[in-house]
Amino acid sequence: MKKPLLLAGCFAILSLVFVVYGQTTASQEQSSGSASSVRSAQRAILDQYCVTCHSEKAKAAGADSARKLTLDNLDLALIGENAQVWERVVRKLRAGLMPPAGIRRPQPAAYNALVVWLENELDRNAVLHLPPPGLHRLNRTEYANAIRDLVALEIDAAKLLPSDDSTHGFDNMAGTLAMSPTLLEAYVSAAGRIARLAIPTEGDATPVQAAYRVPEDTSQDYHIEGLPFGTRGGMLIQHEFPADGDYTFRVVPISKGNMGNTNPFGEITGEKLEILLDGERLALLNFGGGGGFGERRPPLEVRAPVEAGLHTVGVTFLATNYAPVLDLNEHFLRSTIETGGLPGFTFFPHVGSVRIEGPYNASRAENTPSRQKIFVCRPANARDETACAQKTISTLVTRAFRRPASAGDVAELMGFYESGRKNGSFDRGIQMALQRILADPRFIYRIETEPAGLHAGQTYRISDIELASRLSFFLWSTSPDDELINIASQGKLKDPAVLEQQVRRMLADPRSEALAINFAGQWLNLRGMQSVDDISGL
């Protein structure tokens, strides 16, 4: 989407936001005398045209109409207490079913005025009895974006958290973003993992293995999006490397599988397997293909030094073999070859999985984007550690909780810092505090506090801090940045001129693309395009 179109669409939506935010009340309350006279007029119409058949007296006489509904004992000043009865009345009147055919009716103007008045009274009383909206939990998209802006770390929230429920096609409705024991456990686990990735310490550099398997319904006979042109098949991976060090990249091809044969699948010889890191070639390996039963082949692997952080790993075959082959003219099905090849068919080799092991010979990364984002200071000596830790934690709390940090916030988290520092380094202490912040409800939820003494149905103006959070999650699908929090904490965001200036600044920021991607993607169901099969190879 081009930027001018995005800006125009956003301003059209935001114009509604400004109108709603700027209103103190939708309309002035009717005076008690005026409301009473209107009720009296409507009661007179009901008594004249409806109560004759719908009354306690008619019910006692055995009238079927009164057995179903009586109106003479209902107070029009208390419509909300009998909402279901009056909703039945409105439905009958709107359908023109009452009074029945052949029975005298009021004039059309009076008839319509009664219906409109009943509907308005029902709506007004419904507002007074609205259920609380509940706490607004961050959905997976908002959570991933908030982590990105807090610790400069790109995460795949789908691998850390279960999917979100949706209402009317949207996954950011507070009513459906509930919390379950399983989800709570996932948030706590994700907090620990993210904190270790953002601030790896000596104990976090233990070599581990991560395995990525090619989806079974992915065809590897054609080019994979994101990999270099002139290649075929394979997979593209986003992997977070926890520390500087050496890592082993091992490719496991799909084996023939029949009769215990573990040879790679694919009869075509002379294939070249390319392993890439951030688009740059790490190795070009020979893939023989074919082979006799029981023949052992050298592993398809390479070891290379990698800096800590998020990197893209690609594995693919060079598309150098253009000889005609007889292949299945449909999407690749792994079960076809894992149970043995088909006579008369020739297949390209296929990547089954990619395994990344490490780090080996690890060293602590000092200049990662995460460290630059988190550490606003570095202690020169042991005496400076406490003051620096307080400053770092205060900055993290302000960004994570989307409001200025209080002394109580910092004091609470300093306990976690001291626990980590006692058993490790300064960085370990900050890592423990960060883990606690990421598991805190004040980060996971968008909490808004109602003013004291508020009555049901009473309107009120939200605080500048709450407005900043709403604005940021609406336009960016993430937490407000430092500038927006600073302006809101000074009480300036309620100024229409300042608010407009901030909105224009935020729309000019690349993060505003989230409005088009997330809102329009769900509104128009564009996300569903990802589930459409690629038929380019047919």
User: Which H/E stretch holds residue 277?
Assistant: strand 271-277
| Stronger pLDDT, 67 or 105, i.e. the higher one | 105
β strands within 342-381, DSSP E: 351-363
358, 212: one domain: yes
Closest CA to 234 of 247, 217, 246, 221: 221
| Stronger pLDDT, 432 or 11, i.e. the higher one | 432
CB atoms within 10 A of CB 449: 9
- Side-chain half-sphere of 6: how many Cα atoms within 13 Å? 21
* 473 part of a folded domain: no
pLDDT classification of 538: cutoffs 50, 70, 90: very low
Give me the numbers of helices (H) and strands (E) for the chain, helices first please: 20, 10
85, 212: one domain: no
With pLDDT > 90 as the criterion, what percentage of the chain qualifies?
A: 38
223, 357: one domain: yes
Q: Which two tokens stand for residue 254?
A: 């799909």
* CA terminus-to-terminus distance, the chain: 29
212, 337: one domain: yes
Q: Provide the b/e sequence for 155-164 (b: ≥16 CB within 10 Å).
A: bebeebbeeb
* 237 part of a folded domain: yes
Which of 307, 340, 363 is the endpoint of a domain?
Answer: 363
For 238-275, how does the pLDDT look when each residue is reduced to its tens digit (9 = 90+)?
Answer: 898 888 899 999 998 876 544 444 455 555 667 889 99
SS3 for 236? strand
Q: How far apart are CA 406 and CA 403, in angstroms?
A: 9
Q: What is the pLDDT of residue 254?
A: 79
Secondary structure, 3-state, 452-514: CCCCCCCCCCCCHHHHHHHHHHHHCCCCCCHHHHHHHHCCCCCCHHHHHHHHHHHHHCHHHHH
* 424 part of a folded domain: no
Residue 56 has pLDDT above 90, yes or no: no
Cβ(266)–Cβ(220) below 8 Å: no
Average pLDDT over residues 376-394: 95
Residue 74 has pLDDT above 90, yes or no: no
CB atoms within 10 A of CB 193: 17
pLDDT classification of 178: cutoffs 50, 70, 90: confident
Average pLDDT over residues 123-149: 82
pLDDT classification of 150: cutoffs 50, 70, 90: very high
Average pLDDT over residues 442-468: 87
| Stronger pLDDT, 197 or 414, i.e. the higher one | 414
Cβ(148)–Cβ(370) below 8 Å: no
* 4 part of a folded domain: no
Q: How far apart are CA 436 and CA 400, in angstroms?
A: 11
Cβ(478)–Cβ(515) below 8 Å: no
401 alpha carbon, distance to own chain's centre: 17
Residue bearing tokens 């909490």: 447
Which of 128, 154, 187 is the endpoint of a domain?
Answer: 128
Write out the residue range of the structural domain in which residue 339 sits. Answer: 208-363
Which of 102, 128, 154 is the endpoint of a domain?
Answer: 128
In the chain, the amino acid numbered 77 is A
Q: How far apart are CA 288 and CA 150, in angstroms?
A: 47
91, 221: one domain: no
Check residue 42 and give left, alpha or beta (phi > 0: left; psi -120 to 50: alpha). Answer: alpha
Q: What is the pLDDT of residue 527?
A: 67
Closest CA to 180 of 222, 137, 236: 137
Q: Which two tokens stand for residue 462?
A: 């939200």
For 109-127, how does the pLDDT look when each residue is reduced to its tens digit (9 = 90+)?
Answer: 989 998 898 888 888 877 6
Q: Which CATH number goes with the domain that contains 282?
A: 2.60.120.260
Q: What is the pLDDT of residue 33?
A: 57
* 256 part of a folded domain: yes
* 463 part of a folded domain: no
| Stronger pLDDT, 221 or 436, i.e. the higher one | 436
119, 216: one domain: no
Integer CA distances (angstroms), 260 to 253, 256, 348, 354, in order: 15, 8, 20, 22
Count the domains in the chain: 2
212, 358: one domain: yes
227, 354: one domain: yes
SS3 for 298? coil
| Stronger pLDDT, 43 or 127, i.e. the higher one | 43
Q: What is the pLDDT of residue 204?
A: 64
* 516 part of a folded domain: no
* 305 part of a folded domain: yes
Global pTM reads: 0.66
The torsion defined by the Cα of 221, 223, 229 and 234, in degrees rounded to 10, comes to: -80
For 265-324, how does the pLDDT look when each residue is reduced to its tens digit (9 = 90+)?
Answer: 555 667 889 999 999 999 999 876 544 444 556 778 999 999 887 899 999 999 876 655
CB atoms within 10 A of CB 530: 7
